[in-house]
Amino acid sequence: MVALAKSSARAAAISSQSRTSRTLVSTARRTAARGQAPQQRWRQATTSAAGATHQQRRSKAAPALPEPTAHQQTLRRSFTVGGIGLHTGEYAIVRVMPAFAGEGRYFVHVPRGTNEHEWEVEQPQERELEDLDAPGFNAEDGPNDVSNAQLFFEFIKVQEVGEFRGSFEDYIQRHAAQPETLLLEAEAELHPEEEPAVGQAGEARMPAHVSSLMQQGPNCTSVLEQGGFGVWGAEHLLAALECCGVDNARIEIEGGKEVPIVDGSALGWANEVLRCGLRSAPTHQTADAPIARAVWTPEKIVTVHEGEAFITFYPGPSARVTVGVDHSAEASVIGRQWYSWSPEDAGYTAADHFRYAVAPALTVYTAKEATELAKDGFLQAGADRVCLIAEQDDWLDPTLIRFDDDEAARHAAIDLLGDLSLLAQPGGRGLPRGHIVAYQPTHALQAAFVLRMADAMA
């Protein structure tokens, strides 16, 4: 492996089970040509975060980014992703479909061949900034005068508070208009809304709910199981659905039991939600009316801990997660990191949206963790290209880094948000109103916390 050429013998064992077909990412067949596969769009996203404000995204025009609302939502149409599960090495096809209001998010195991005709593998295509052809931006001249002045003041502000490191040119590139948001209306015309799937009579459905969560599952991923039907590694997908406002969804899985790892983050899933768009979740009645979306508002502090690791909920007026990780002893390149995110902050902009601020963060392991997981029979697909591996004071492949100072903490937030989504009542929000602070969270500790929260809210 080129990316691991400088690794030690111990780290080399991490990628020994890697497969060339490990991370095939496929999406619903395209009627019109689009650029890159979901996991490859990050290069474009880093150079061009959408500049619409929270208020602008609430205008009558098609929203630039999908987000939760006060009423229940579902997808406008379905999407399909095929790929390899990180820990089992099994190939699976996942199709996420619209669902009726009040059904919530749920899994259905379908026979092989059910959705194979719905997808095709996209070949990654790298693009240069000049190819984006975004309005108001020229790769040589920069943005127009008005936006240039506005961006410059923003650039000074974020430099002062340490939120951005780099030149003004880098900042301009990062905030160029996002072309894929401009394609939403055109693509909507090509792909009409799909009616929610009714499903087969008597089919077994497993709700993406705390009642399906296994507390004693492997500590490297979340496991849902009910009636002999199990799903591994759904936390990235569920985090994207929860944070992008997909309250109701039918999730069909065929083949393996593990959700594809895609690129090791939640970005591919968030991109698919963006591409398909949202609509008010319809009801089974003839005349549809928007159905309210329930939000938990616990009134008591809830906490779980194991050693120095803990997760605590504090009642508050808005939802927020704050995550801390500390690998300074075994991997100084990670060190101590904290990251805090809220979809309800004052001054919220597109750059704060889950898709940009959280979803792109890759899975992070120390070399010791990865080696131990491989010895225990996990990481069957291999960690290279989908995981950041840290060995002491360096990364095995630093070219994968997407957030210089806090990628590990941001990815820990993805995992936590995915597990918190299991608190949702059918059609409701899983993320409770209040502040959740987690330090050194593990999947086992998160499972214990989610179960404790469910008891507190009963």
Q: What is the pLDDT of residues 239-261, one digit of tens each?
A: 999 999 999 999 999 998 999 99
- Report the distance separating Cα 116 and Cα 95, nearest Å: 10
Strands 91-98, 249-255: parallel, antiparallel or unpaired by DSSP?
antiparallel
Average pLDDT, the chain: 78
- Report the distance separating Cα 208 and Cα 190, nearest Å: 31
> Residue 192 has what pLDDT?
78
Q: Which residues contact 48 (CB under 8 A, 6 or more apart)?
A: 129, 132, 134, 173, 174, 175, 176, 177, 178, 179
Contact between 149 and 156 (Cβ < 8 Å): no
Q: Which has more pLDDT, 167 or 102?
A: 102
Confidence of residue 23 (pLDDT cuts 50, 70, 90): very low
Listed range (137-151, 239-253, 259-273, 426-440) with the worst mean pLDDT: 137-151
Q: Within 13 Å of residue 256, how many CA atoms lie on the same side as its CB?
A: 23
31 pLDDT more than 60:
no
7 pLDDT more than 90:
no
Rounded average pLDDT over 136-160: 55
pTM (two decimals): 0.75
> Residue 172 has what pLDDT?
60
Confidence of residue 189 (pLDDT cuts 50, 70, 90): low
Condensed to tens digits (0 to 9), the pLDDT of residues 345-357 reads 756 777 889 999 9
Choosing from 87, 209, 353, 443, the catalytic residue is 443
Condensed to tens digits (0 to 9), the pLDDT of residues 199-233 reads 777 788 999 999 999 877 777 888 899 888 889 99
What is residue 78's DSSP assignment? Answer: -
Residue 87 one-letter amino acid: H
Condensed to tens digits (0 to 9), the pLDDT of residues 303-330 reads 999 999 999 999 999 999 999 999 999 9
Query: Is there a catalytic annotation at residue 87?
Result: no
- Report the distance separating Cα 434 and Cα 368, nearest Å: 35
> Residue 349 has what pLDDT?
76
Listed range (98-102, 176-180, 306-310) with the worst mean pLDDT: 176-180
